[in-house]
Chain A
Amino acid sequence: MQPMIIILKEGTDSSQGKSQIISNISACQAVAEAIRTTLGPRGMDKLIVDNRGKATISNDGATILKLLEIIHPAARTLVDIAKSQDAEVGDGTTSVVLLTVEILKNTKTFIEDGMHPTIIIRAIRKATALATKKVKEIAVYVKSDDAKEHRALLEKCAQTTLSSKLIARQREFFSKMVVDAVLMLDELLPLNMIGIKKVTGGSLEESRIVDGVAFKKTFSYAGFEMQHKKFLKPKIALLNIELELKAERDNAEIRLDNVAEYQKIVDAEWSILYDKLEKLHTAGVNVVLSKLPIGDVATQYFADRDMFCAGRVQEDDLKRTQKACGGAIITTVENLNEQSQQVMGTCEIFEEIQIGSERYNFFTGCPKAKTATMILRGGAEQFIDEVERSLHDAIMIVRRAVKNDSIVAGGGAIEMALSRTLRDYSRTVPGKEQLIIAAYAKAFEVIPRQLCENAGFDATNILNKLRQKHAENHMWFGVDIMHEDVSDNFTAAVWEPAVVKINAITAASEAACLILSVDETIKVPKSSAEPSNAAKAMNMA
């Protein structure tokens, strides 16, 4: 009898071959089902409760996929591309997943018919290159030297993004806010310089943008209320020092044999603190912010000298204050005097203002205001969370659009144009690739189709109208959600930055290729801490 050769550890699940590819595709399709309905202005939200009972209501594809806890290995790829789209351009996470799955679905029949995956992959690559070229070709460049026009462009892009979100009704209001915020930033447009603060209560329209920094009142000790809450052109000291009466060393012990020494030690401790406070005071500082706690003695000392202080300020808030007001975060006050102005920041107005039930510190009119803070208001916590996510998307889009001023029309228009171009091209290709490219072209139609389906329109009818319009070279025709018809979305100002589409197309194609190229999955059972050597070797191969 032939001895059995065991290569893999017992219980290892391994499936391979054509059926494996098909099964992977089915799994991906199932995942896409979950976010299908979130696309477009009539897209719905999902409410997901995690194991700890925390509820999230979201319309953002990447957020939903992250919360679904997908374990299927092939389906995980979709989560990853959604994430990468989120990180790269911030928006279009749902469409990228839908596009991937549609490409896979359309190629499934060819796999079933026994076409080799590598041929399919090659054709997809070719089609992708063509598609991106086409996007670049037809994208419309808007002159950015005209500041007003440029601004209008940015606002339109932000509005298109926001139209599918919860705040669609207020999109004009918020798009202005987003564009304002982004334009306040410097050349690099660092995202972390836009602070978003959330205060429940109030209605959405009460949200506001601050050209500077705002943060919540920190924990305060007795004496805080006596401090001045408003300064004009204050000098701001940003510290990383604990201003508290405390044991300087935790493990030190002092031995005394003389009562007279007692007072000296007490005095010494006080003078350590008082020296620091004195230095700050003589340097003419008005506002003291510290990352570390500011104790009651210091609070009262400042109150006594008409200065304002806030301890335990969040690190990013402190950094943003530093960016906005200038100065530096200092770790010692030893060298502080009236000459050392460069380490101190300043702004036009510092003020404490009540927002809802919270009190906020505002630093406005900052000289180096390369930072902005949005204060969002809304009825419920989940509500504001979702608004924040939506604004994040809009901010990312605007950031992208600032750098790349070429745009395409949204609402399925660009997809239809691509679909038509590729279909025309496919007819000129001899061989198997013709079929694949045609399938790829058809995959693009999923976006307008889904838009129609979500809005409850007759998708086939609308798509036929669109195909006809595009065949007549009206390349900007897309779905008109408002009137259940097709319309020229370029004149209707449904605009998206071209770079978003390019990124989505590339990411989707690559993910599709990746899934198609996997023909074997080896799953090592959970119990084993280390995968066996054999499995490792197989994985590498």
Chain B
Amino acid sequence: MPSIGTLAFDEFGRPVLILKGQESKKRLFGIEAHKSHILAGKAVADTLKTSLGPRGMDKCMVSPDGDITITNDGATILSMMHVENEIGKLLVQLSKSQDDEIGDGTTGVVVLAGALLEHAEALLDKGIHPIRIADGYELAAKIALDHLDKIAESYPLDLTKLDPLINTAMTTLGSKIVSRCQRQMAEIAVNAILNVADMERRDVNFELIKVQGKVGGRLEDTLLVKGVVVDKTFSHPQMPKEVRNAKIAILTCPFEPPKPKTKHKLDITNVEDYKKLREYEKEKFTEMIKSIKDSGTNLVICQWGFDDEANHLLLSHELPAVRWVGGPEIELIAIATGGRIVPRFQELTAEKLGYAGYVRELNFGTTSDHMLCIEQCKKSNTCTIFVRGGNKMIVEEAKRALHDALCVVRNLVRDNRIVYGGGACEISCAIEVAKEANQIPTIEQYAIRAFADALESVPLALAENSGFSPIKTLSDVKSQQIAENNPRLGVDCLNTGTNDMKAQLVIETLIGKRQQISLATQLVRMILKIDDIRLPGESEE
């Protein structure tokens, strides 16, 4: 069969070029293409397998410029691995989209996709058409999703009792480096979310939660500030270190005589003019100070800088001021304090001021680092989580862990249904899917059974990471689940003595799990559907 990739010859035996750069192009076709995809997918999934679960290990990544990242978060690991392979890249995006949408379960989704691919390989060897495998997977995914809905439990979302929420957040944090102060972190995450959550719309605006890190101190020193923390200090060392009942003027204009934006030139020809200029500038400064004073401000926050002269003037008028505060922070402060951002001194009025009950400078250890902390704001629905830790890597990892926890709590606010973790819901789905498989009359039956096996890869990996004999643990739990008809039984990773996940309080959100299964299935379908890869060869240029 003549095909592209091999050369076509004309009647004189000369090769006919059909494609540009045809000789150097690489092509994989048919079963070989499938095998190579599956291999690539499996390789990526295998890297992540060991970081699943509370006994999962971390990965240390060194970037080309020598930056070191230590993390347990699937999406972060994959995005830093710089995967070259096309199929590998798809898996990276898969975990990223899980991260964007749900924020948690980024490792699980890749492990599941890897397992699906692995089982597809065996089916391909049996000679089943790849699309039928994909069809079977989708049928199975539907069964699994329906089953998940059935076993999901509605969770009471009671603002007075935070324990249920905290438990869920703790499940997420369990696999992270911060598990040492799991409880505290979980509480912080829950409080932060509830602080900004819009319970009516069941929506949470993440932009109102800021996570800031600072190296130093211990992880336990991490705290939640209901307000804003800015990495700035008062502009003059002699200004008071704390202001109570602060009325804040939020300025986005520099503290200096205004300048036109158009290019301009001021001709000064004699001493008289020069003096006038000085007078003018001085006058402007006093005018500005006056307008601030008149509005009743006792704290100035400025997006731009001001020189020493202005600084001194502010000090002598007892106006504490902060300079060079970045745009996003200005915005946060404005929202928190209910103030308006003022672009011109002329527009400064008493109504536009923000209010904060307590503004203070935080000092850290022996370093001369200071931070400004604005608390007890008028509309205090912004908050800042201030992460401390022994070194940069821990702080970064703690930030990522908190992000995951925040996402999970947010998902619960959106949809309060939950399933049990620790592989419990995967095992339960696997049992259900395997049961349904026998009722399917077509070839898809094999694919559905393979799907059930693939679902078990998550509890298998969990057991393996926890140092148990994976097969034995899994079969024990499985038989127990069937015998007791209890979908809450999972792998007891922490050796607590019970494998009832309800008792262990290992809880995951329903939408997170649903998302994992449907995303992984859809992506696997895409990969299975490819039977032809064309790669450009080494270009001659």
Contacts and interface: CB of A to CB of B under 8 A. Distances in A.
Interface of A: 15, 19, 22-23, 26-27, 29-31, 33-34, 37, 41-42, 44-51, 55, 57, 59, 68-72, 75, 166, 169, 200-205, 221-226, 245-249, 252-260, 262-263, 265-266, 268-270, 296-297, 300-301, 303-304, 354, 356-357, 378-383, 386, 455-456
B531 A45 contact: yes
Interface in B491-541: 514-515, 518-520, 522-523, 525-526, 529-536, 539
B271 interface: no
Given A46-B533, A48-B533, A304-B341, 18 more contacts: A23-B11, A26-B8, A26-B16, A45-B526, A45-B529, A46-B532, A70-B20, A72-B16, A166-B526, A200-B96, A223-B331, A253-B262, A265-B262, A296-B327, A300-B343, A354-B203, A379-B522, A383-B93
9 contacts: A42-B129, A46-B530, A55-B86, A166-B525, A202-B515, A222-B328, A259-B266, A379-B523, A380-B526
B530 A44 contact: yes
Nearest to A37: B531
Contacts of A70: 18-20
Given A33-B2, A51-B539, A200 B100 contact: yes
B266 A19 contact: no
Contact of A356 (B1, B100, B262): B100
Contacts of B530: 44-47, 57
Interface in B427-455: none
Contacts of A382: 90, 93, 526
A246 B530 CA distance: 53
Contacts of A304: 340-341, 352
Contacts of B260: 247, 254, 262, 265-266, 268-269
A356 B410 CA distance: 13
A255 to B, nearest CB: 5
Nearest to A169: B138
| Chain A interface mostly | mixed
A245 to B, nearest CB: 6
Interface string B3-25: 11000101100001111110000
B481 interface: no
Contacts of B126: none
B334 interface: yes
Q: What band does the interface of chain B fall in when counting residues whose beta carbon is under 8 Å from A?
A: 35 or more
Closest 8 pairs (CB-CB, A-B)? A380-B93, A201-B101, A44-B531, A357-B100, A201-B97, A201-B100, A222-B327, A203-B518
A203 B343 contact: no
Contacts of B316: none
A306 to B, nearest CB: 11
A201 B523 CA distance: 12
A75 B20 CA distance: 12
Interface string B335-372: 10000111110000000100000000000000000000
A200 B100 CA distance: 8
Given A51-B539, A379-B94, A247 B522 contact: no
Give the interface centre of B90, B94, B98, B532 by most chain A CB atoms within 10 Å: B532
A297 B343 contact: yes
Contact of A49 (B17, B330, B529, B534): B534
Interface stretch (B55-63, B166-174, B211-219, B273-281): B273-281
Contact of A27 (B8, B261, B273, B526): B8
Nearest to A244: B261
Contact of A254 (B132, B263, B340, B343): B263
B107 interface: no
Interface string B122-148: 000000011110010010000000000
Contacts of A354: 203, 205
